[in-house]
Chains A and B, each alone.
Chain A
Amino acid sequence: MIVKVNNLVKRYNELLALDHFNLEVKKGEIFGLLGPNGSGKSTSINCILSLLKYDKGEIQVFGKPMSPDAYDIKKDIGVVMQEVAVFEELTVYENINYFCGLYIEDKDRRKALVEEAIEFVALKDFRKFYPKKLSGGLLRRLNIACGIAHKPKLIILDEPTVAVDPQSRNNILTGIKKLNEQGATVIYTTHYMEEAEQLCDRIAIIDKGKTVALGTKEELKGMIKIGEKITVEVFNLVPEALEELRKLPTVDKAEYRENILVVRSKKGKDSLVKILEFMNSHDIKFGKMYSELPTLNDVFLEITGKELRD
C-alpha cells in the first residue's frame, strides 16, 4: 500500500471538512479523487502530506507513518498543488531547477531531469520567462513541472488542469499516464468526471469530506440503478404516447420537454432498439437521436442527489 488513510477527521473551526475519510492507494495505480468544489479533496491531500493538522486519524505513506520531518518519505513524493506555487523572481528554468535541486543534489543528473521536465510540459520556448509573463495555462504547466521533475515514486496532483486549454490538458493527461507507466503511483484529484474516467484506474467519489463510492469506473457505474440515457429530438409527441413509452419494460424514466425526449433505461437493459420500434409503430417523427452510457455524474447524482458540477 502506497498511501493508507484511516478515519481522518479534519475541522476548520466549526466546519467539518473531512469526516472519517478513508483511502487506500495501491502501488502503480492512478487513483482518482473525484468530488465537487469544497468536498475536501485538497484538504485530504494536504493532510496526507502532513502540511495540515488534523483532529483524528492515521496516515501512512510507503507503509510508514507520515510526519513533517519524515524526509525519507518526502524525498519520493512529488506534489502539484491546486494553486500555482512558484517563485515570481525565478524564471521557468530556475523554478524547476530550484525545486528539483531540493531533492537531487547531483548537478548533472539534475540538469537532465530539469530538461526532461521542461520537455514534458512543453515549455521549451519559455525557459527564460518569468511566471508573470506566462499565461494561465502555461503557468499551470510550470506548476506541474516543478512538482514532478525529480521523478518521484508517488505523484500527487491536485486539480492540475484547471484553466488549461483542452489540447494541453490532453498532453498533461497522457504525460501523467506515461509517468505512471514508468512506475510512479499517482493520486489525482479533479472535479471533471471525464478526466477521472479517462485517466484513473480506481476512483473514490467524495462529498462533504466522506468517500461515498469507490471502485473502477465500471464498478462505480455498476452501483447505480439507471443504465443508458437516450436523447431524441421529437416534434409531435402527445402525452398519451409518452405515458405508453414510460410503460415499456426497459424504461426507467422518460421526460419530454421542448421537443427533446430523454429516456433513462433500467440498469443493464438496452432500450435503444425498443424505442426505435416504438417510434416507428406509433408513427412519431423524430430528428437526431443519441445514446449515452451512464457517467460518473449520474453515479454522483444518484448517490448524493445533486450534480457533480452546477
Chain B
Amino acid sequence: MFGHIFFTRIKCLVRDKQLIFWSLIFPIILATLFKLTFANISNGEVFKPIDIAVVSNQFYENDHGFRETMKHVSEDGHGKLFNMVKADEVKADELLKNNKISGYIYLNPEVNLVVKSSGLNQSIIKTFLDNYKESKNNILSITKANPSAGIEGILKDLHVNREYTYEVAPSGGAPNTSLSYFYSLIALACLYGGFLGLKEITDIQADLSKRAARVNMAPVHKMKMFAYGILAALLIQFAEILILLGYLSFVLRVDFGNQLPYILLLSFVGGAAGISIGTMISACIRKGEGIKIGILITVSLISCSLAGMYYAGTKYIIEKKAPFLAYINPATLITDGLYTLYYYNTYERYFLNVAILTVLSIIFCLITYLIIRRQKYASL
C-alpha cells in the first residue's frame, strides 16, 4: 500500500506543471536574474572605494581597534575599501546631505552608521560594520569565557577582517551581500515547497477536491494517506533543491564553501518546513485554491524579505529589533544556517537552526493533522 500511494503521489507532483514552475523553475529564473544583476555590478566598472566620513570624537580616538581597522581598509592598495575623511558631526552631516559621502560612522562608543538612502555602497559599509561588530563580540566573549584565549581570538579577528576586505574589494559586488541574496533565494525555494504541501492536502481533504472525496471513501487510514503523501512531497522537494543548488554552483558558479553535507541537511529540513507550512495553510484556510496559493506566496515572500532577500540589512534589523521573529522565521533560519556555515567554523548555531526548523515542521504538521483528522465535513 505504501508503494502504491507513494509512487502515485510522486507522479502527481512531478506532472503538475504549475507546481513545478513555482517550486523549481521560478527559483532558477530568480537565481539567474540575481546573477545577471551582480555580474553587471562587478563587470561594469572597477570597484571604486566608497567615500565615507568618520566622526572624530573622543570615542573614535579612544577605540584603538576600530581606528586601526578603518585605517587598514582605507589604505591605498589592493584592499582599499573606503575613502575616509575625518570630520566633526556637523560637517559629516553636511557631506552626507550634499552626497559627498555614502554614509558616516560615529561611535558613542558603539559603532553606528548614518546613511541617507539604501544602495550597494550603503550595504557594503553596513555589512562591513556588522562584520566588525560580530568579530569584536566574538573576541569579547572568547576572552570573557577564557581569558587565556585572548591572543588567539584577536588573531582570528584580524583574520576575519582581512579576509573580508580582501573579498569585498576586488570583486566590487560585495560577495557577502550577493551571497546573502542567494541564501535567501534558497530559503525561498525551500518555502515554495509549500506548493507541494498544499497539493497533498487538497488531494486528501474531501471538502477541498472531488478526487479527495473519493480517496476518503477508500479503506485507508487518513494518517497513512497524509504521511505517505508528505514523504513523496519531501522527496520531490529535496530533489528540486538539489537541482537548484547544482544550478547555482555549477552553472552560476556561486561559491557556497565546502560544507556540502551540511548545506544538504539544512535544505532538507528547510524544505520540510516549507512543505509543512503549505499543508497548514491548505488545512486552515477554508478558501479556494487560488487564494491559498496567493497566501502561500505572500507568506514565503514576507518570510524571505525579513530574511534579507530584497535588502540584505533587513535580516540584521529584525535580529536586533525582534529577535523572536528571527528565531521562528523559517527563511531566516535557513539563510542564517547557510550564513553560519560559510562564515563560522563552529556548528553550534547551524545545528540550532536545523533543530528549530525541524521542530517547526513537526509542529506545523501536527496542526495540519489535527485539522484534517476531523473526518466528516460540514459541506462538500
| B partners with A | yes
Contact call B11/A49, Cβ cutoff below 8 A: no
Of B217, B377, B379, the contact of A77 (CB 8 Å cutoff): B217
Q: Is B146 an interface residue (CB 8 A)?
A: no
Contacts of A74 in B (CB 8 A): 217-219
In the complex, how many angstroms separate the beta carbon of B378 from the nearest chain A beta carbon? Answer: 5
Number of interface residues of B (CB under 8 A): 28
Q: Is A69 an interface residue (CB 8 A)?
A: yes
Of A52, A83, A101, the contact of B210 (CB 8 Å cutoff): A83
Q: Is B1 an interface residue (CB 8 A)?
A: yes
- Contact string against B for A residues 65-106, beta-carbon threshold 8 Å, 1 for contact and 0 otherwise: 000110110110101010111110110001000110111010
Q: Are A98 and B4 also in contact (CB < 8 A) when A74-B218, A79-B214 are?
A: yes
Number of interface residues of A (CB under 8 A): 32
Contact call B220/A51, Cβ cutoff below 8 A: no
**Closest chain A residue to B19, Cβ basis:** A89
Q: Are A71 and B219 also in contact (CB < 8 A) when A51-B376, A89-B11, A89-B15 are?
A: yes
Q: Is B285 an interface residue (CB 8 A)?
A: no
**Closest chain B residue to A82, Cβ basis:** B210
State the CA gap A85–B11 with chains docked (Å): 17
- Contact string against A for B residues 340-380, beta-carbon threshold 8 Å, 1 for contact and 0 otherwise: 00000000000000000000000000000000000111111
Contacts of B216 in A (CB 8 A): 51, 68
Contacts of A98 in B (CB 8 A): 4, 8
Q: Is A12 an interface residue (CB 8 A)?
A: yes
Q: Is B213 an interface residue (CB 8 A)?
A: yes
Contact call A68/B4, Cβ cutoff below 8 A: no
State the CA gap A81–B210 with chains docked (Å): 8
- Contact string against A for B residues 264-304, beta-carbon threshold 8 Å, 1 for contact and 0 otherwise: 00000000000000000000000000000000000000000
Contact call A87/B12, Cβ cutoff below 8 A: yes
**Closest chain A residue to B216, Cβ basis:** A51
Q: Is B263 an interface residue (CB 8 A)?
A: no
- Contact string against B for A residues 133-148, beta-carbon threshold 8 Å, 1 for contact and 0 otherwise: 0000000000000110
Contact call B214/A52, Cβ cutoff below 8 A: no
Report B91-107 residues with CB < 8 Å from chain A CB.
none
In the complex, how many angstroms separate the beta carbon of A100 from the nearest chain B beta carbon? Answer: 10
Contact call A12/B214, Cβ cutoff below 8 A: no
- Contact string against B for A residues 7-23, beta-carbon threshold 8 Å, 1 for contact and 0 otherwise: 00000100000000000
Q: Is A216 an interface residue (CB 8 A)?
A: no
Contact call A72/B219, Cβ cutoff below 8 A: yes
State the CA gap A90–B1 with chains docked (Å): 18
Of A53, A69, A79, A90, the contact of B221 (CB 8 Å cutoff): A69
State the CA gap A75–B8 with chains docked (Å): 20
Contact call B210/A51, Cβ cutoff below 8 A: no
Contact call B375/A68, Cβ cutoff below 8 A: yes
- Contact string against A for B residues 188-224, beta-carbon threshold 8 Å, 1 for contact and 0 otherwise: 0000000000000001001001110111111111000
Contacts of B4 in A (CB 8 A): 98, 101-102, 105
Contact call A99/B218, Cβ cutoff below 8 A: yes
Q: Are A50 and B218 also in contact (CB < 8 A) when A89-B12, A94-B11 are?
A: no
Contact call A51/B377, Cβ cutoff below 8 A: yes
Q: Are A81 and B213 also in contact (CB < 8 A) when A89-B15, A102-B219 are?
A: yes
Q: Is B16 an interface residue (CB 8 A)?
A: yes
In the complex, how many angstroms separate the beta carbon of A85 from the nearest chain B beta carbon? Answer: 4
Contact call B221/A51, Cβ cutoff below 8 A: no
Contacts of B203 in A (CB 8 A): 87
Q: Is A180 an interface residue (CB 8 A)?
A: no
Q: Is A46 an interface residue (CB 8 A)?
A: yes
Contact call B380/A46, Cβ cutoff below 8 A: yes
Contact call A105/B218, Cβ cutoff below 8 A: no
Contacts of B11 in A (CB 8 A): 89-90, 94
Contacts of B220 in A (CB 8 A): 71, 102
In the complex, how many angstroms separate the beta carbon of B302 from the nearest chain A beta carbon? Answer: 30
Contacts of B378 in A (CB 8 A): 12, 52-53
**Closest chain B residue to A83, Cβ basis:** B210
- The 8 nearest A-B residue pairs measured at CB: A68-B375, A102-B218, A85-B210, A71-B219, A89-B15, A75-B219, A74-B219, A85-B214
**A-B pairs with beta carbons under 8 Å apart, 29 shown:** A46-B380, A50-B375, A51-B206, A51-B217, A51-B376, A51-B380, A52-B376, A52-B379, A53-B376, A53-B377, A53-B378, A68-B376, A71-B219, A71-B221, A74-B217, A75-B219, A89-B16, A90-B8, A90-B15, A98-B4, A101-B4, A102-B1, A102-B5, A102-B219, A102-B220, A103-B218, A103-B219, A105-B4, A146-B214
